[in-house]
Structure 1
Amino acid sequence: MTLSDAPRINCKSLADLDSQRSGEVARIFNIQRYSLNDGGGIRTVVFFKGCPHTCPWCANPESISSAIHTVRRETKCLHCTPCLNNVRECPATAMEHIGQNISFDELVKEVLKDEIFFRSSGGGVTLSGGEVLMQSAFATRFLNHLKRLGINTAIETAGDAPAGFLLLLAKQCDQVLFDLKIMDIQQSKAALNLRLPRVLSNFALLIKENITVIPRIPLIPGYTFNKNNFQAILNFLAPFSLKEIHLLPFHQYGEAKYRLLNREYTMRDVPAPTEQEVKEFYLMAEQAGYIVTIGG
């Protein structure tokens, strides 16, 4: 599904979304089919729009704002006047919306188009973002519906939300892909706008509730890509006796999106870690007893 195919529903803000009865509308910015990451098997990933965090390395900067906004792809633009920056009138399709409101029923219909791939591969549906917890009412109801249809469900989250919201959503998941980033409380707040004590408390709560949690650690130069921080993560995880861990090395795939959005990208000149550098962290996790996946 392209964003322009999604139904347009009048909705003023994300506050309006979650205030609607039973969470009947979501704001998304992409549906990615045939994903081999983000959970097991072939998956359809629904990207929710809006994130409270400020990670400088974010590969989906279009997910940060909860607003629907319009961009122009300069390589397509004819620099004519008839469209007046109107997406529907643009003759070159250079203008496009980022973000759409989509109804519950329409989103169910869209993901079920891939049901045969879920059944044959052991895959399913993953909700990502942005931060899916910003639209937790919709997401909880949506995953509950999929689970009743026998479809594997997962979320990707930083876990920085009231525990009750996270727990209700996590109970509808076959697995929770849970990001752990900077382990210093002050630095985590200053750099990412992330409440680390709440994140760690929520992580422990999910384990206590016997929810399958897979920790994911982004390896970001200048932030998380140092052995002290990584060891602090391993120390935090040690009491939970988890089997699996995912390492997510920094990459520059999102740079073009910052230019499209006219946003500053402070990580532009930061080199991606080498394979050998990543291997050192792989071995640390492996020696701690984990099955380690690069990517995921």
Structure 2
Amino acid sequence: MKKGYVFNIQKYCLHDGEGIRTVVFFKGCPLSCPWCSNPESQSFNREIIRKNSLCIKCSAADCYKCSKNPESCPTGALEYVGQEYTIEELLEIIKEDMVFYDSTEGGVTLSGGEVLSQGEFACALLKRVKELGINTAIETSGYGNFETLRALAEYTDTILFDLKIMDNEKAQKIIKANSEVIKNNLRGLVSLGHKVIPRIPLIPGYTMEEDNIEEIKEFVISIGIKEVHLLPLHQYGSSKYRGINKKYELKDINPPKSEEIDEVRSIFESSGIKVVIGG
């Protein structure tokens, strides 16, 4: 049986769709967003992450030995990131919280990494989840094959779709993505009548430039979008970069102030678009 590659399964989530949800995080992403809060999700390979708060700074020799076998780390500071699951294994975990889905109108969200990168497996999983009567959502950068995206959408109640950098030259330079592919995929989903909510990360110096926000606004208006979610930068995942020995480029960038967030909110609301902070 085909397996999916997952790096985390998080229960009792409140910000990845409606109600209480179980979020399955797929490993691997074609983008390289410097603000990514889950840098361990980017590689398509299994990795070892070090939890610095648990590290007692053993000798270099011991740490090297443990890095070959994380289970031997005396404090549990080292662990593998990435595990294969069958659909049946994931369904057993998902079904443990049916009572919460039913009582809060919650459900299951597939996130990443990028769910499109494991589209065949994700589609099969969503189909089985829907057969159980569970609400479904996906979080996606929209960067991938449209036919795969359309197949996923057939079993998805809500699509949370990132819009980051609209200028194609800047997008390719900063996040390694073709923004035209992303825009075309979003346009295609909306034209098919799917429930799609754009989510805009608010990153000072990257996505919050006035011309970028205006271009996003004009684009969502042009395709009939009525609601967007704004996701202000946070630094919660910064320690993970050290854990996988990767440089964090945004360590000197402060999260946007409340008045800056309100300015972006007003740009959309003044055009009749509902705005949710977070989501």
TM-score computed with the length of structure 2 as normaliser: 0.94
The one-letter amino acid of 1:126's match is: T
Question: How many Å apart are 1:74 and its aligned residue?
Answer: 4.2
Cα distance per residue 1:211-250 (max 9 Å; x no partner) = 1000111111111112211110111111232221100111
1:29 aligns with 2:7: yes
Q: Distance in 2 between matches of 1:206 and 1:169?
A: 11
Aligned to 2:47: 69
Aligned to 1:259: 242
Identity of aligned residues (%): 45
Question: How many Å apart are 1:73 and its aligned residue?
Answer: 3.1
Q: Distance in 1 between matches of 2:212 and 2:70?
A: 45
The one-letter amino acid of 1:150's match is: G
Question: How many Å apart are 1:75 and its aligned residue?
Answer: 3.9
Distance 1:82 1:229, change over 3 A: closer
Question: How many Å apart are 1:83 and its aligned residue?
Answer: 9.5
1:77-156 counterparts in 2 under 5 A?
A: 77-78=55-56, 79=58, 81=62, 84-85=65-66, 86-156=69-139
Question: How many Å apart are 1:128 and its aligned residue?
Answer: 0.5
RMSD of aligned residue pairs (Cα, Å): 1.5
Distance 1:83 1:111, change over 3 A: farther
Structure 2: stretches of 5+ with no match in the other structure: none
1:1-296 counterparts in 2 under 5 A?
A: 24-78=2-56, 79=58, 81=62, 84-85=65-66, 86-296=69-279
Contact 1:83 1:90 in 2 (8 A): no
Partner of 2:204, secondary structure, is coil
Which aligned segments of 4 or more residues in structure 1 are displaced greater than 4 angstroms? Answer: 80-83
Contact 2:40 2:47 in 1 (8 A): no
Structure 1: stretches of 5+ with no match in the other structure: 1-20
Distance 1:288 1:93, change over 3 A: same
Q: Distance in 1 between matches of 2:251 and 2:55?
A: 25
The one-letter amino acid of 2:124's match is: R
Partner of 1:84, secondary structure, is helix
Question: How many Å apart are 1:72 and its aligned residue?
Answer: 3.1
The one-letter amino acid of 1:195's match is: N
- Of 175-184 and 80-89, the range deviating more from structure 2: 80-89
Q: Distance in 2 between matches of 1:256 and 1:49?
A: 19
The one-letter amino acid of 2:225's match is: L
Contact 2:204 2:253 in 1 (8 A): yes
Question: How many Å apart are 1:91 and its aligned residue?
Answer: 3.2
Distance 1:83 1:277, change over 3 A: closer
